[in-house]
Amino acid sequence: MLDRITGTKRTVEANGHLPVDANLITEPAQLASRVSAWEAVQAARNIQRPHTLDIVGRVFDRFHELHGDRGFRDDPAIVGGIADLDGRPVVIVGEQKGASTEENIARNFGMPHPEGYRKAMRLYRLAEKFHLPLITFIDTPGAYPGPEGEERGQAEAIAQSILLMARLQTPIVVVILGEGGSGGALALGVGDVVLAMQNAIYSVISPEGCAAILWRSPAEAERAAKAMRVSGPDLLELGVVDALIPEPAGGAHTDHAATAAAIRTALAAQLAKLERVPAADLMSARYERFRAFGALDEAGAAPPPPPPDSWWRRMMKRPSS
Amino acid sequence: MPFGRKPNEFPSHLWTQCPSCNEMLFNKQLARNLNVCTKCDHHFRLGARERIELLVDKGSFHEHDAALTSGDPLGFTDSKPYPERIAAAQTKSGEKDAIITGEATIGDNPVILAVMDFEFMGGSMGTVVGEKITRAAERALAERRALVIVSASGGARMQEGTLALMQMAKILGALARLDQARLPYVSVITDPTTGGVLASYASLGDIIVAEPGALIRFSGERVTSGTVGEKLPTGFGKAEFLLERGFLDQIVPRPQLRERIGFFLTAFRAASQDLRWSL
Ligand SMILES: [Zn+2]
């Protein structure tokens, strides 16, 4: 039952080759070359990279944006709405960066305020209410850290978003488009399937922030990025993402259309699988997916275990029902 | 207690200066007063073991998962390898990681209790904290107990990278199940609680209380003022500020915590008529 939602890789062990449908990368070995963590950071932050609305405009047949959190204002750093993919309506929520300095100022550089997360939650509930799949796009340096955010409950908004996604009774596909900055990313990041672009990054703190604290110099960001293992292949190995969506040679910024086409293929395949899964199975598989993260050593017992098996791999090892 | 300045006539192993009222406090007396200044009620930080003793019905605490210790999932090294940092923190504190969990009763209410310790690597949340809180919530669900978490943390543990971040989703998955089962969760926020801990379980209690004067912020002070380049008003990010902004139910002085938590838990149990969550 559950293996239906694991999708592309479940027959790997059975037939001994990689049937990578939807062109997804599920093993770092599938990549011709592996970029360094720092190259990935720069690619993920490239201002020419396609951002959420570029992708949404190219991937979906129609899209109507829905504004506002119904409480305070419409946060331009988070966009959302209803779109359709091959006649299938879906709810979209994504973090939005700008393609120029001017746009970035308007979008607060993709750093949402609490009301942005509250808008996201409103749309999550809408998806659940009408049984629409939810697709989220992550692209943020992090939640806005300024005093207005603190005043309006940045931490509470993020916590509630994560909690809501964990319990939302509708299929969720997460795509990390560019930068996955900490809790501000995870607020859109709890899904049944978590995909990342080949050159996307995901980290618990920005490499600069980590470097400032542990190396006492933001200039050591390159080292911090490597140590924290923020690149796509790292995330695959850690099981944090289930698969990478390949980017055009030269990176997503060189060809928005081809990037969007790869995302569309991936989404269509994942949605087709997820939609057949009964809600109860979906909920328990989502719980187990995140429950599995932890590398623990019960003292006196074995040496530290290897990094956790990815969710895909664990599912594959189960006999199919 | 490593607080405050120490004029020579007040050796620090005997005396601590209150950072709030500058009074020199005799350490033994300070400890007897639950690490609260006898003159101005300033709340000093409190270790997890002392905290547990203060919160639970006498002798009711039994620790769980005491042996859990962190691996080194990323092979992380900054100026020192991560396993060395863990070992040093363990030696210094006598604890395995930044949290202690177990079962107890509070005002005769059966609870699972999780208490963080800021002294262990800044109370940072890695896979051990994540696993122990998740197990605590799962145990509360299985045994129909209430869950009480006392937070004190600088946030997620950088040395465990995205696996530390994932603990937030893991814990909240378990809290969602607890909520669906109508079991109470009380979040107690103590000084300081910031970052990923505040942006996950600390902010989600059915009841959220904090200790007076506790620093409670999403971003570190340096981040907020550095990013925005403005001076922040006094009291910004303190418990009293959060109460005023609507993010806390109450500020409860330390000596009243046990009784107050017991009051809420008893009320929830009574209101459920069938005593559903009692054992
Ligand atoms: Zn004082």
B210-236 pLDDT, tens per residue? 999 999 999 975 555 455 556 677 789
pLDDT at B270: 76
Residues 67-96 of B with CB under 8 A from A: 67-74, 76-79, 96
Indicate which of B158, B222, B223, B245 best probes the interface with A, i.e. most A CBs within 10 Å of its own CB: B158
* Rounded CA separation A142/A155 (Å): 12
Distance B45 CA to ligand 1 centre (A): 13
**A38-62 pLDDT tens trace:** 999 999 999 999 999 999 999 999 9
pLDDT at A316: 41
> How close B184 gets to chain A, by Cα (Å)?
16
pLDDT at A299: 54
- Global pTM reads 0.91
Question: Do β-strands B99-106 and B62-64 pair in parallel, antiparallel, or remain unpaired?
Answer: antiparallel
Q: Let me know if A122 is exposed, middle or buried by CB neighbors in 10 A (0-12, 13-18, 19+).
A: middle
Length, in residues, of chain A = 321
Cis peptide before B192 (omega within 30 of 0): yes
Domains along chain A? 3-317 (3.90.226.10)
How many CB atoms are closer than 10 A to CB A80?
29
* Rounded CA separation A117/A121 (Å): 6
Distance B55 CA to ligand 1 centre (A): 23
Distance B20 CA to ligand 1 centre (A): 5
pLDDT at B223: 53
**A52-107 pLDDT tens trace:** 999 999 999 999 999 999 999 999 999 999 999 999 999 999 999 999 999 999 99
Residue B79: pLDDT band with limits 50, 70, 90: confident
CB B98 within 8 A of CB B123: yes
**B196-214 pLDDT tens trace:** 999 999 999 999 999 999 9
CATH class of B45-270: alpha beta
pLDDT at B205: 97
Per-residue burial over B95-122, b if 16 or more Cβ lie within 10 Å, else e, is bbbbbbbbbbbbbebbbbbbbbbbbbbb
pLDDT at B8: 64
pLDDT at B274: 52
Distance B253 CA to ligand 1 centre (A): 14
* Rounded CA separation A182/A105 (Å): 21
pLDDT at B235: 86
Of A38, A2, A15, A8, whose CA–CA distance to A227 is shortest?
A38
Chain B hits for A163, CB-CB cut-off 8 Å, are 172, 175-176, 204
Query: Which residue numbers in chain A have pLDDT < 50?
Result: 1-20, 300-321
Q: Does B166 touch chain A (CB under 8 A)?
A: yes
Mean pLDDT of chain B: 91
Residues 230-249 of B with CB under 8 A from A: 230, 232, 236-237, 245-247
CB B268 within 8 A of CB B206: yes
Instruction: Give the residue with greater pLDDT, A298 vs B257.
Output: B257
Cβ of A227 and B78 within 8 Å? Answer: yes
Q: Does B170 touch chain A (CB under 8 A)?
A: yes
Distance B36 CA to ligand 1 centre (A): 8
Question: Do β-strands B62-64 and B24-26 pair in parallel, antiparallel, or remain unpaired?
Answer: unpaired
Chain B hits for A298, CB-CB cut-off 8 Å, are 67-69
Q: Where are the domains of chain B?
A: 1-44, 45-270
pLDDT at A294: 84
pLDDT at A312: 43
CB A173 within 8 A of CB A133: yes
> How close A297 gets to chain B, by Cα (Å)?
5
Cβ of B73 and A235 within 8 Å? Answer: no
Of B165, B106, B173, whose CA–CA distance to B134 is shortest?
B173
